[in-house]
């Protein structure tokens, strides 16, 4: 399909979240107009204020529960040229009261047992994708591209020495979800939900290729870290990845554990730019793209902060005299995304961490 260029209208689901807010800003900065879905009037007001400098190019649309059938019907119309689906749950221990309805996609799979704990993840992360695709089939008359935000969890499950590419799938998670039923842990359920969502997109576009005027692109980021701009007033209310990064930045490590592997990362701002590039690049249609800036240890992180800001308060020093350790490269290969989407060099760990810490401090965390 042809690329979608500004000033087209892009529908971004999950616009009020950590990554969603940055993705909205990236599209606005690139000259697009954005309709962003949020769950409440308060979140709509926050985003309207955050993006007020863009005049009338941003509009918040309230959808209280994206896991309900037909939830997106009222926001997909002939004004919309592209849809970026970010909304979903991104934690590994869902509570029972998050489950809304019987999961029709999970029910079709048969081997996924019906219980509230599973529904809390499969409803928002898998069913809502299928439901949104059905809405695009019915009402997306002018939509040219659908972009889905997946997760590296949808690829993992290989030995530690494995370098992941776009051809990898976390079939282990799906198999474990099938085998253990309600006893599978939250991370397994989350990973399985992302695998099944991606495959549902592939199956849907193939099945309906003669009926739809849009193609689908899947973005697969590793842990997204960086500064926060979304509505959040306490550490407890941070999204999972930001909370993990905050803990990395502020928690002492035993000296014999400072060089333990901590995480892969991509700065959330670079991830947001990749979504814009995926919309503007004709060849991105139907493709899958990994985003990964590299791996780091705890000591790498502490050193990155203190080398850039020697006076950074509240950040451990770890063991500065410990033998330095760095990874030869990322464990998830982002070569395809960099090349095909013509992405600029990803931000390094130091810039990502310093800017994140500054944003946390500005909120009083």
pLDDT in tens, 210-232: 999 999 999 999 999 999 999 99
Q: Which of 67-76, 88-97, 152-161 has the lowest mean pLDDT?
A: 88-97
Note the pTM of the prediction, 2 decimals: 0.90
Contact call for residues 248 and 263 (beta carbons, < 8 A) = yes
Count CB-CB contacts under 10 A for residue 354.
20
Q: Taking each helix axis from N to C terminus, what angle separates 41-50 and 18-29, rounded to the nearest 10 degrees?
A: 40
- 135: its two tokens: 């809405």
How does pLDDT run across 74-130, given as a tens digit for each residue? 999 999 999 999 987 654 443 322 333 223 333 333 333 334 344 444 444 467 898
- 28: its two tokens: 């606005």
> Considering the chain, what is the average pLDDT of its residues?
89
- How far is the C-alpha of 302 from the C-alpha of 249, rounded, in Å? 7
| The pLDDT value given to residue 126 | 65
Strands 145-149 and 80-85: parallel
The CA angle 140-141-144, to the nearest 5 degrees, is: 75
| The pLDDT value given to residue 89 | 60
68 — pLDDT class (breaks 50, 70, 90)? confident
How does pLDDT run across 24-59, given as a tens digit for each residue? 999 999 999 999 999 999 999 999 999 999 999 999
Q: What is the mean pLDDT of residues 59-67?
A: 91
Right CATH for 9-226+265-294+328-346 from 3.40.50.720, 3.40.50.970, 3.40.50.300, 1.10.443.10: 3.40.50.720
Q: What is the mean pLDDT of residues 249-262?
A: 95
- pLDDT of residue 324 exceeding 60, the answer is yes
- 181: its two tokens: 């039923």
- How far is the C-alpha of 246 from the C-alpha of 234, rounded, in Å? 11
- pLDDT of residue 161 exceeding 70, the answer is yes
Q: Which one, of 47, 34, 37, 26, lies nearest residue 7 by Cα?
A: 34
- pLDDT of residue 282 exceeding 80, the answer is yes
Domain range summary for the chain, segments of one domain joined by +: 9-226+265-294+328-346
Contact call for residues 22 and 268 (beta carbons, < 8 A) = yes
H or E stretch at 329: none
């Amino acid at each position: 399909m042809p690329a979608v260029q500004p000033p087209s209208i892009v529908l971004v689901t999950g616009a009020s979240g950590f990554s969603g807010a940055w993705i909205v800003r990236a599209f606005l900065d690139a000259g697009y107009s954005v309709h962003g879905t949020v769950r409440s009037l308060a979140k709509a007001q926050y985003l309207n204020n955050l993006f007020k400098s863009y005049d009338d190019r941003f509009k918040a649309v309230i959808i209280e529960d994206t896991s309900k059938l037909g939830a997106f019907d009222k926001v997909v119309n002939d004004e919309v040229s592209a849809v970026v689906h970010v909304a979903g749950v991104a934690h590994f221990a869902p509570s029972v009261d998050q489950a809304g309805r019987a999961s029709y996609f999970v029910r079709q799979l048969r081997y996924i047992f019906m219980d509230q704990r599973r529904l809390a993840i499969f409803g928002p992360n898998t069913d809502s994708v299928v439901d949104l695709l059905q809405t695009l089939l019915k009402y997306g008359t002018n939509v040219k591209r659908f972009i889905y935000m997946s997760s590296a969890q949808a690829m993992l499950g290989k030995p530690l020495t494995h370098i992941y590419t776009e051809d990898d799938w976390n079939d282990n998670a799906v198999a474990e979800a099938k085998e253990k039923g309600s006893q599978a842990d939250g991370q397994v359920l989350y990973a399985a939900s992302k695998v099944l969502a991606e495959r549902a997109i592939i199956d849907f576009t193939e099945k309906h290729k003669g009926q739809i005027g849009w193609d689908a692109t899947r973005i697969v980021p590793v842990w997204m870290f960086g500064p926060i701009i979304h509505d959040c007033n306490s550490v407890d209310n941070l999204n999972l990845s930001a909370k993990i990064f905050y803990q990395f930045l502020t928690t002492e490590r035993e000296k014999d554990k400072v060089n333990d592997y901590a995480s892969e990362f991509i700065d959330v701002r670079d991830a947001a730019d990749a979504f814009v590039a995926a919309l503007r690049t004709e060849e991105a249609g139907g493709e899958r793209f990994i985003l990964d800036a590299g791996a780091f240890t705890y000591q790498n992180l502490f050193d990155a902060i203190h080398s850039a800001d020697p006076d950074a308060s509240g950040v451990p020093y770890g063991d500065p005299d410990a033998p330095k350790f760095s990874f030869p490269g990322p464990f998830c290969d982002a070569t395809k995304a960099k090349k095909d989407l013509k992405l600029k060099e990803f931000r390094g760990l130091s810039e990502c961490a310093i800017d994140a810490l500054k944003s946390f401090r500005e909120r009083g965390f």
